Structure 1
Amino acid sequence: MFHEDLSEYDHLDDDTFTDPESGFYGTWYRPAYTRLNVGWLEAGEPYPTGPVPDGFVEKLKAVQRVQWMNVCLGVHECDLCPAGDEPPPEGNGELRIPGEPGIAYAAPSLITHYVTAHGYRPPRAFIDAVLAVDADAWASVRWPDVPFPWVPGDAERMLE
């Protein structure tokens, strides 16, 4: 599913965080922030390439270990990988990274693969936002809280 970097995200109306420990409990809400697409790549569509700053990939992986956003039952295979003996990596969710006030970046779960395997270079604003995440604080969050700072207090939570 291709979307231009920094175009407005419109795939889903609500954002849903799933508890990674149970895989069942969820928190969902209609975001009050604007979501901007980053890293929605597709074969045949051009994308920027180049190096990313030291520490970026590690921080992105740390976020992905603790944040389960819009996890779907189906999967999306990387269609940038050449056909071969090994199946391509699959993704089935998204990330939310807070940017400047009122902006959150919406990236597919395959974004780390795109950076490391295909040389994708996300927009500088996204890189800076990822590097600004306090990954240790996000990792310490326990259910029913979620590792993202802009969840409204009236978000619906499935607790049982």
Structure 2
Amino acid sequence: MFYEDLSEYDYQDEDAFTDRESGYYAAWYRPEYTRLNIGWLESGEPYSTGWVSTAFVEKLKAVQEVQWMNVCLGVHECDLCPAAVAPEGNGELRIPGRPGTAYAAPFLITHYVTAHGYRPPQVFIDAVLAVDLDVWAAARWPNVPFPWVPEDAERMLE
């Protein structure tokens, strides 16, 4: 599924966070922030390549350990890899950017960076590096690891 970097995300109307510990509880809401696509790569479509810091890659991996966003029942395979070894992803990430803007990336983004040399836009790299991972990792249900979830978000509590 290809979307140009920094184009407006419109795949789903709502954002949904799943509790990483239970895998069951969820919070969903219609975001009031603008979502911009990052890293939605597809075979045959051009993408930026280049060096990224180890600190960025490690932080991106760490974010993926604590944030479960728009997790789907199906999976998306990396079509840049041979089918026999293509990794799969089934969710997304949300990274806060400037006020009112969040970046929407597929869960395969770390794979795209490390295996295919994808270099996200610098604003995304900077936003990932700015995440307060200690705060996000400490979030426990009903809180979620993302700062812009509205108080009136619907929450599945049981």
State the TM-score, normalizing by the size of structure 1.
0.97
Q: Per-residue deviation at 1:105?
A: 0.0
Other-structure match for 1:123: 121
SS of residue paired to 2:61: helix
Runs of 4+ aligned residues of structure 1 deviating over 4 Å after TM superposition are none
RMSD of Structure 2 on Structure 1 (CA): 0.7
Q: Deviation of residue 20 (structure 1)?
A: 0.8
Determine the C-alpha separation between the residues in 1 that align with 2:79 and 2:134. Answer: 33
Given the alignment of the two structures, is residue 6 of structure 1 paired with residue 11 of structure 2, yes or no?
A: no
In the TM superposition, what is the alpha-carbon distance from 1:96 to its structure 2 partner? 0.1
For 1:96 and 1:29, locate their aligned partners in 2 and report how far apart those are by CA, in whole Å: 13
State how far apart, in whole Å, the 2-side matches of 1:10 and 1:69 are.
15
Shift of the alpha carbon at 1:82?
2.6
- Alpha-carbon offset, residue 137 of structure 1: 1.3
1:137 is matched with which residue? 135
- Equivalence for 2:42: 42
For residues 45 and 67 of structure 2, the distance between their equivalents in structure 1, rounded to whole angstroms, comes to: 28
Match of 1:61 in 2: 61
TM-score normalised by length of structure 2 = 0.98
Distance in 1, matches of 2:48 and 2:42, equals 12
Structure 2 segments unaligned to the other structure (5+ residues): none
Alignment of 1:62-81 (within 5 A): 62-81=62-81
* Counterpart secondary structure, 2:85: coil
SS across alignment from 1:139: helix
Q: AA paired with 1:151?
A: V
- Tell me the equivalent position of 1:109: 107
**What's the offset of the Cα at 1:27?**
0.1
Deviation by residue 1:25-47 (Cα, 9 ceiling, x = unmatched)? 00000000000000000000010
State the Cα distance separating 1:136 from its structure 2 match. Answer: 1.5
State yes or no: 1:151 paired with 2:156: no
- Report the Cα distance in structure 2 between the residues aligned to 1:76 and 1:53, rounded to whole angstroms: 26
1:39 counterpart letter in structure 2:
G
- Taking the aligned partners of 2:39 and 2:152, their CA distance within structure 1 comes to 30
Work out the number of aligned pairs and report it: 158
Post-superposition shift, 1:53?
Answer: 2.3
Offset, 1:57: 0.5
Q: Which runs of 5+ in 1 are unaligned?
A: none
